[in-house]
Structures are given as structure tokens and as C-alpha cells.
Amino acid sequence: MKKTVSRRNFLKGGLAGTAAVAVIQNKEAHAAQSFEGYPEGMGVLVDLTRCIGCRSCEAACNKEQELPEPAKPFDDYSVFDEIKHGQKRRTDETAYTVVNRYDVPNLDHPLFRKIQCNHCQEPACLTSCFVNAYTKTPEGAVIYNSKVCVGCRTCMIACPFYIPTFKYSSAFDPRIMKCVFCYDTRLKDGKPPACVEACPQEALTFGRRNDLINMGRQRIRETPGKYVEHIYGEKEVGGTAWMYISSVPFDQVGFDTHVPKEPILNSVKDFLAIVPMVLTIWPGLFVGFHLLATRKEKIKEQEKEDKEGQV
């Protein structure tokens, strides 16, 4: 009798193959997980104890990035009282960075927090973008290419900090508006971004990310009691180029302290790893199943035909 692959064995083989691919894919996933960012990547350390809420960074950003005229002057501090949809001010298509005021209980003075793109080491916007409009440059910036953007806005959903915004005023020429670390005009020439240069208090310290972590630790260590012992962004979402130190717990000054300590990508990596497998192996596998399932019927049909022929 001619030895054929039984249906059972074929299924077993198919499953083993699938499992093998899944294992290999997982290995790759682990390799990607250990990416610690570009060694020479730059960043900014934001010291909340130094910020006085002067909004010079906002003005400098507006000028540098040629953003439209603001609704109120940059030395108008009534913006700190603005609440939209129950929230403090956020970045939008007219402002890549905003400063908000936080009145912390039991503190005799308010604290100010500047927000902008944190330029993640492994950006969720980048991994979510299916046309590769985002790039993490070796200098540390997460930049964006409007030429390939299709305006799907997945990046806006993917960002754990709600930073990318959509230029709704030009929906047919899709454009995401977000801080680009002044990459084109400054960072790629080794210069600090405009906001950092404008800050009178040096609340924003520009430097290599690795050096900034050391600076942050030195400040925390050498002025006991001044800071909480944490650098926000050192570990959050796998590390960000912009990091913060604060005198009060971070959740009291608007930070999301529940973001994972690993890249957002890791939450979806296992699923994403299956996608190519599904696309490449499954068609062959299921065509095989189909052929096997219909083989007996075909043989019967053939036999029937043969019998009819003989008659």
C-alpha cells in the first residue's frame, strides 16, 4: 500500500510549523525589546521646581515652528485658568507645546508643567503608523513626514501622552501637528530646541539623554527633600528623550503614572508578530486542509466515473 500522509499527521505537522514560527517570531520580538535607544540620543530634562510659568517656551516654539498667531498674547497668564472639556490646555494644531499651572494642596506656590512630545525611545506613534510617516532619528527626535501621511490618525490614538494633533483645517492634505524637537532647524546641527534656549530659568536642560539622567540623579541626591525620587521618562513607556523631575508626586501635577514601564509596542508585539504568519502560512495550510477534506469525495467521484466508464 502506498504510504500517504494521513489527515491527522498533516494537521499535526501544520500545528507544529505554526508553533515553530510563533517561537521564532517571539525570539525576534525579544531582540527588539532590548533596544535601549540611540547611545548619542539627545533629550531634555524638565525641572518642575524651576519653572515659573513665564510661557517663553511657548512663544519661542511658535516663532521657530512658524505657527499661527495665538488667541492670546504669550505673556497673558489667564490661559492657566482655561478649562476645555474638563481638561487643562493641550497641544493642538496651533501649539506644539503648552504650559499648565497646577495648584498642589499644602504647597504655598503653584507648579507649572510644560507638555510637548516626549520623543519616546520606542515611539507608539511610529509603530502604529502603517505608512512609516514617523522616524526616530539617532539624535533622539521623533519626526514626521507629511508627504506619506494618509491622515488615518492612528498615531493620535497610539500616543500614551495624547500629543499628536490633526490639522483639521486641512483635512484633504492630511497633516499631523506635533513637536519635532526642532529637528530640521536646530537639533540636526547639534543645537538645542528653541524652547530650551528661551527658558530663563533653565527649567529645561538640553543634553545627551544619558548625561541628563545623571544630572537628574545628582539634583535629587544633593538637595535632599527637594525632589521626589523619580525621573519621569527614564523608564516610562520604555524611556523618553524628554524627562521630568518634580518636588511633588507626579500624579499631582497631571502626569499619567499608570503608563507601562515598557514600550507600548510590547503590548501589541505578540499580536503583530502573528500577522505575517497568518498572511504567509495560513493560506497554504488551509488550502491543504481543504484539499485533504475534499480528497475522499474526489476519489469516490473518480471511482464512480471509472465504474460508469466500465459499464
Partner 1 sequence: MQARKRIMQTALAIAIGGVLIAPAQIWSMDAEDAPESVTIDSLVNLYTGVEFDHAMHVDYASCQECHHHTTGGEVVNPNCARCHSTSGEADEVTCTGCHATDRFNETYIRTLEAPELYHIDKPGLKGAYHLNCISCHETTSGPTGCQDCHTMTDAGEKMFYTGKYSPAKGHSAPGH
| Residues at the site binding partner 1, with contacts judged by CB under 8 A | 50, 52, 54-55, 59-60, 62-63, 68-76, 92-95, 168-169, 190-192, 196-197, 199-202, 205-208, 211, 214-215, 218-219, 222
Helix (H) / strand (E) element for 87: namely none
Nearer to partner 1, 76 or 303 (CB): 76
Nearer to partner 1, 75 or 297 (CB): 75
- C-beta of 253: minimal distance to partner 1 in Å? 19
- C-beta of 75: minimal distance to partner 1 in Å? 5
Q: Which residue, 212, 218, 163, 208, is CA-closest to 45?
A: 212
Helix (H) / strand (E) element for 141: namely none
- C-beta of 136: minimal distance to partner 1 in Å? 20
Nearer to partner 1, 52 or 259 (CB): 52
- C-beta of 185: minimal distance to partner 1 in Å? 15
Distance of alpha carbon 179 from alpha carbon 206, whole angstroms: 15
- C-beta of 150: minimal distance to partner 1 in Å? 20
- C-beta of 100: minimal distance to partner 1 in Å? 16
Q: What cell does 106 get? A: 499644602
Burial class (CB in 10 A: 0-12, 13-18, 19+), 33: middle
Nearer to partner 1, 69 or 297 (CB): 69
Nearer to partner 1, 58 or 122 (CB): 58
Q: Which residue, 192, 155, 261, 208, is CA-closest to 38?
A: 208
**Do 116 and 180 touch, CB atoms closer than 8 A?**
no
Helix (H) / strand (E) element for 113: namely strand 111-115
Distance of alpha carbon 257 from alpha carbon 255, whole angstroms: 6
* Residue 68 CA, distance from chain mean position: 26
**Do 274 and 25 touch, CB atoms closer than 8 A?**
yes
**Do 134 and 176 touch, CB atoms closer than 8 A?**
no
Q: Which residue, 83, 84, 92, 86, is CA-closest to 115?
A: 92
Helix (H) / strand (E) element for 204: namely strand 204-208
- C-beta of 113: minimal distance to partner 1 in Å? 18
Nearer to partner 1, 99 or 237 (CB): 99
Residue 184, CA distances (Å) to 62, 125, 192, 270 in order: 15, 19, 12, 35
Nearer to partner 1, 84 or 258 (CB): 84
Nearer to partner 1, 170 or 294 (CB): 170
Q: DSSP for 155-167?
A: HHHH-TT---EE-
Which residues does residue 244 pair with via DSSP β-bridges, in sequence order? 46, 232
- C-beta of 68: minimal distance to partner 1 in Å? 7
Nearer to partner 1, 168 or 286 (CB): 168
- C-beta of 147: minimal distance to partner 1 in Å? 22
